[in-house]
């Protein structure tokens, strides 16, 4: 059976709004060899339709079923623990709001809630921190979409969800359950969607590499994001089975490793 190629987005296909050169060609090369490619991101702020549009705009045709986000993993985690219609505070972007509603949960801005989901959003501020921390300090289920400390954008890094979660966690004195890579809810989502055999491509060893290990899949590291000589994370020692400067250079290495695929 051919493995599914699961590909992280930030730092692999793009940095913010800037495409990483050759990445669309790399995906096309994998697909031309008959491999299915799924896109797995810890960035929960953008709704699925937004990712499909962004992928298409970057020259990578995709449908909703190709994309798994930490927002979906977080919503699945909440839905597994609460009754339909339960009130959930989304201290997060539209992607989390959509995913929670899709699971039959009621998204509210304030008031008594049974769960709080913290995800990436750029309008996080003192007031939102106050509301989220108040809810978490009670008995609400506390879920983080992911703990990535930063995201790579053109020319640098911006604070990631982990930084926002740390603020809520510190103010509330509680530790969250984490849904996204490398944690179990995302692994369950990926297995249910794509099956048990795959290769995980990513730029962050601490999440993408750990996620590959959690799935029992080979990790393919690209150095176009947070890892590398000048990067935030070192290349693991020993290195993962595939390492390349970018997706364009990585795709041929993966294809060469798969007998019967060319
Ligand atoms: Mg990434």
For residue 58, is it within any domain?
no
CA 133 to centroid of ligand 1, rounded, Å:
27
* Residue 168 and residue 127 in one domain: yes
* Residue 13 and residue 28 in one domain: yes
* Residue 171 and residue 126 in one domain: yes
Contact between 234 and 227 under an 8 Å Cβ cutoff? The reply is yes
Average pLDDT over residues 63-81: 98
| Domain end among 178, 210, 233 | 178
Average pLDDT over residues 31-43: 96
| Residue the block writes with tokens 């060319």 | 262
Whether 236 shows a pLDDT value over 80: the answer reads yes
CA 127 to centroid of ligand 1, rounded, Å:
29
The reported pLDDT for the residue numbered 261 is 79
Q: pLDDT tens digits, residue range 123-161? A: 999 999 999 999 999 889 999 999 989 887 878 889 999
**Banded pLDDT at 229 (limits 50, 70, 90):** low
For residue 49, is it within any domain?
no
- Catalytic annotation present for 8: yes
* Residue 155 and residue 100 in one domain: yes
Whether 31 shows a pLDDT value over 80: the answer reads yes
Whether 1 shows a pLDDT value over 80: the answer reads no
What domain count does the chain have? Answer: 2
| Domain end among 123, 153, 178 | 178
* Residue 77 and residue 164 in one domain: yes
* Residue 123 and residue 173 in one domain: yes
* Residue 34 and residue 81 in one domain: no
- Tokens for 248? 């364009």
* Residue 155 and residue 234 in one domain: no
The reported pLDDT for the residue numbered 262 is 61
| Domain end among 140, 156, 178 | 178
Backbone phi, psi, residue 207, to 5°? -115, -55
- Catalytic annotation present for 208: no
Residue 181: half-sphere exposure toward Cβ, Cα within 13 Å:
30
Whether 173 shows a pLDDT value over 80: the answer reads yes
* Residue 160 and residue 123 in one domain: yes
User: For the chain, what is the radius of gyration of the CA atoms?
Assistant: 18
The reported pLDDT for the residue numbered 231 is 72
**Domain range for residue 173?**
70-178
* Residue 153 and residue 93 in one domain: yes
- The CB density around residue 200, as the number of other CB atoms within 10 Å, is 30
Q: Please provide the average confidence, as pLDDT, over all residues in the chain.
A: 95
For residue 106, is it within any domain?
yes
**Banded pLDDT at 232 (limits 50, 70, 90):** confident
User: Percent of the chain having pLDDT more than 70?
Assistant: 99
Q: pLDDT tens digits, residue range 86-134? A: 999 999 999 999 999 999 999 998 889 999 999 999 999 999 999 999 9
CA 205 to centroid of ligand 1, rounded, Å:
9
Average pLDDT over residues 159-179: 97
CA 115 to centroid of ligand 1, rounded, Å:
27
Spatial CB neighbours of 78, under 8 Å, sequence gap ≥ 6: 86, 88, 100, 103, 105, 115, 117, 141, 143
User: Which entry of 8, 66, 98, 148 is annotated as an active-site residue?
Assistant: 8
**Banded pLDDT at 246 (limits 50, 70, 90):** very high
For residue 59, is it within any domain?
no
Q: pLDDT tens digits, residue range 199-226? A: 999 999 999 999 999 999 999 999 998 8
Whether 67 shows a pLDDT value over 80: the answer reads yes
Q: Is 2 exposed, middle or buried, given 0-12, 13-18 or 19+ CB atoms closer than 10 A?
A: middle
CA 262 to centroid of ligand 1, rounded, Å:
27
Q: Higher pLDDT residue, 239 or 259?
A: 239
DSSP labels, the chain: -PPEEEE--BTTTEETTEEPTTHHHHHHHHHHTT--EEEEES--SS-HHHHHHHHHHTT----GGGEEEHHHHHHHHHHHHS-TT-EEEEES-HHHHHHHHHTTPEEESSSS-SEEEE---TT--HHHHHHHHHHHHTT-EEEES---SEEEETTEEEE-HHHHHHHHHHHHT-PPEE-STTSHHHHHHHHHHH-S-EEEEES-IIIIIHHHHHHT--EEEESSSSBSTTSSBPPPSSPPSEEESSHHHHHHHHHHHSTT--
* Residue 210 and residue 119 in one domain: no
CA 182 to centroid of ligand 1, rounded, Å:
12
């Amino acid at each position: 059976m051919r493995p599914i190629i699961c590909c992280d987005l930030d730092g692999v296909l793009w940095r913010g709004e800037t495409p990483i050169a050759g990445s669309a060609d790399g995906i096309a090369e994998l697909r031309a060899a008959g491999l299915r490619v799924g896109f797995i991101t810890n960035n929960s702020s953008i709704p699925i339709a937004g990712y499909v549009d962004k992928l298409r705009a970057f020259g990578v045709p995709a449908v909703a079923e190709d994309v798994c986000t930490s927002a979906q993993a977080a919503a699945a985690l909440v839905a597994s623990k609460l009754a339909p219609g339960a009130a959930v505070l989304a201290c997060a972007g539209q992607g989390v709001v959509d995913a929670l509603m899709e699971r039959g949960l009621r998204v509210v801005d304030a008031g008594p809630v049974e769960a709080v989901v913290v995800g990436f959003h750029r309008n996080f501020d003192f007031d939102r921190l106050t509301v989220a921390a108040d809810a978490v300090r009670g008995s609400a289920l506390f879920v983080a979409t992911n703990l990535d400390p930063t995201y790579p954008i053109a020319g640098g890094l911006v604070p990631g969800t982990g930084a926002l979660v740390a603020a809520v966690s510190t103010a509330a004195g509680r530790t969250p359950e984490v849904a996204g890579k490398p944690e179990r809810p995302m692994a369950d989502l990926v297995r249910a969607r794509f099956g048990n055999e795959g290769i995980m491509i990513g730029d962050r060893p601490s999440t993408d590499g750990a996620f590959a290990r959690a799935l029992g899949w080979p990790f393919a590291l690209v150095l176009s994001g947070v890892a590398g000589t000048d990067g935030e994370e070192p290349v693991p020692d020993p290195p993962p089975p595939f390492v390349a400067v970018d997706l364009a250079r990585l795709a041929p290495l993966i294809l060469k490793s798969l007998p019967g695929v060319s």
